[in-house]
Structure 1
């Protein structure tokens, strides 16, 4: 016998307990577990598991806990201008947590690499037509890229959709954010040029609400060895700002019958939260 168990009677094996599945967790515990999953996985995979998980991912409570942990400095400000609980737009806060748009450059391909992807590049050859064939990229100085063309005037442009970048209307209209823009003028052009920067803040219909457009700046070829920066901060934003249009124009003053070198510089559009 063993510990009083009669001889010949086998010991009863205790059945192992089944592990508790995620689907069996109380809502509060499941929400806590999901809050540690990367936002892009929550939106792209977890939301498809079942209706219960979808409802949790679409709920503000999950994203508020992620905001409090991953954006601790911003959370007190962001909580004062949250979307309504019954907002029909699902995953508004989720897109913000996924894209993390505060403090990063929202412009795509700011140095104009890889054939100027994400930029609309126009030339004056045919009444400001899109440049497709007559464009050759040349590596240049640090933070700069040049292209060659036989056209006299060029401009590059991007229009940023702030809501797609992760901002929601209540935050954009809260008066608690500012938009910082900058560009670098390259003073080592191969020809004499006129440089012009124009930045516009647009509403949902892309009507202009505010703009920054300093006077055109002459750049004389090979005159200087530095690349001055031009910058501006849009503060006290008007309500309704939904887009930022960023456009640089360069006009060649020599207009020779050969290709020109025109810079595409390291531009930036950065949104900051006013913590004070």
Structure 2
């Protein structure tokens, strides 16, 4: 006799229960993916489907459930019978689902109490800022300081509107963002206050797991006039008192330079218990102001999964082996030297390369074939190529930073180039580190080498080593459709 998937012989009572379940399915589908609601009436009647010995071992059922989408497991499979409900509700199921999908806490010594909640919050990570791209005017933003000319936009400037938005005049990376917020002349700041509990992150979850909090913001000057950009992000307690603050130095744009969109990122970690709110504030000023857009605040409960790639293709990226691996292109002033980091940098990098009063440039040439990336792979897959570089000034001297990364053909002729405007950091800037990053995509066939060149100098022409510092540089390759988050076990199919 044919058995139902619950593992028992069909009976009229079980059939009736199944029909009633079908009628109520639309109502149940409306429940949240992490809900625990099931009627007592259903649990009583479902015993009829599990009264006989199961024909399918529970271990097999568990394996089947682990290979189904999580939302179907919660909304459908959990309602089949009592045994399945117990499996879906068990911590073991969600712990194993997290393990197989590579979702693990950053700190293994603090495992989550609720693995199901951890799974869904990790899997469906989202931007907690509302209206980050100016698509809804200034909705959701609180104006903290409104300069003499206020925040305005090209679209409504002539109409006299107090607040509005503007279309991007400069192409945003990947052309994914089309609008931005604009300041003019005097200081303009706006902010959002994020209530973590209202966003689904309970007090217990934040205090026990202390997930990493990643912030990001994009900015660029409005025109070729000088301007400045400012950012502050605070983790607040229940009384809205700061527990931790990220407040990097102001970024000054010199007059007469055409700068691209720049990104600033930071990750809060090990901030302790008590975080209940996040306050995100940014803005700037200048003759024609600053533009900001695509801001984000994300809670990251799970550790980032390993990329399907070799490690960083640059040798000696953080000055741990002196200048080994680098070709010196320019060594002006008192030449390149190695220094210790005065301020910490992500990944606990402790040393850096330091420039002098004359221009200092250094370079590495990466042979992709020698690194294991065949011509066929590069031409057919055209994987994403992500470059990253960290730079920081001294507080007591102005400095200048520059970078150029080229994708080269077999004859070492450039196919694609990333060379943003020089970054000029003023005297008395904070000694915070800043990241410059870019992703090459859709660059076409023929890429065989990558040439990475960076450096700078000080702007005061002081003897010694008061110029820009660089470290933690990287060139990483990953398949485009994997978005850099594949587990290491999947690498073989790409190589």
What TM-score, normalized to structure 1? 0.63
Q: 1:46 to 1:274 in 2, by over 3 A?
A: closer
* Mapping for residues 1-276 of structure 1, pairs under 5 Å: 17-22=1-6, 24=50, 25=54, 27-48=58-79, 53-71=84-102, 74=104, 80-84=109-113, 92-100=114-122, 106-108=127-129, 112-115=133-136, 119-122=140-143, 124=145, 134-141=163-170, 142-143=172-173, 145-147=179-181, 153-157=188-192, 159=194, 161=196, 164=199, 169=204, 173=208, 178-189=212-223, 193-219=227-253, 223-251=257-285, 253-254=286-287, 262-270=290-298, 271=300, 273=303
Q: Secondary structure at the residue paired with 1:94?
A: helix
Q: For this pair of structures, how many residues does the alignment match? A: 241
Decide whether the 8 Å contact of 2:226 with 2:254 is kept in 1: yes
Q: Give the Å deviation of 1:67.
A: 1.2
What RMSD over aligned residues (CA atoms) do the two structures have, in Å?
A: 4.4
1: CA distance between counterparts of 2:146 and 2:282?
Answer: 17
Q: Give the Å deviation of 1:165.
A: 5.9
Decide whether the 8 Å contact of 2:98 with 2:119 is kept in 1: yes
Task: Return the structure number with greater relative CO, CA threshold 8 A, min gap 6.
Answer: 1
Q: Is the deviation greater in 180-189 or in 111-120?
A: 111-120
Decide whether the 8 Å contact of 1:203 with 1:209 is kept in 2: yes
Q: Give the Å deviation of 1:78.
A: 6.4
Give deviations 1:28-85, integer Å, cap 9, x for gaps: 443333222222233344445566544433321210121121126x37x66642344x
Q: 1:27 to 1:244 in 2, by over 3 A?
A: farther
Q: Give the Å deviation of 1:93.
A: 2.2
Q: Give the Å deviation of 1:238.
A: 1.7
What TM-score, normalized to structure 2? 0.39
Give deviations 1:87-106, integer Å, cap 9, x for gaps: xxxxx42233234259x663
Q: 1:38 to 1:237 in 2, by over 3 A?
A: same
Q: Secondary structure at the residue paired with 1:146?
A: strand
1: CA distance between counterparts of 2:143 and 2:67?
Answer: 45
Mark the runs of 5 or more structure 2 residues left unpaired by the alignment.
7-48, 153-160, 306-346, 348-495
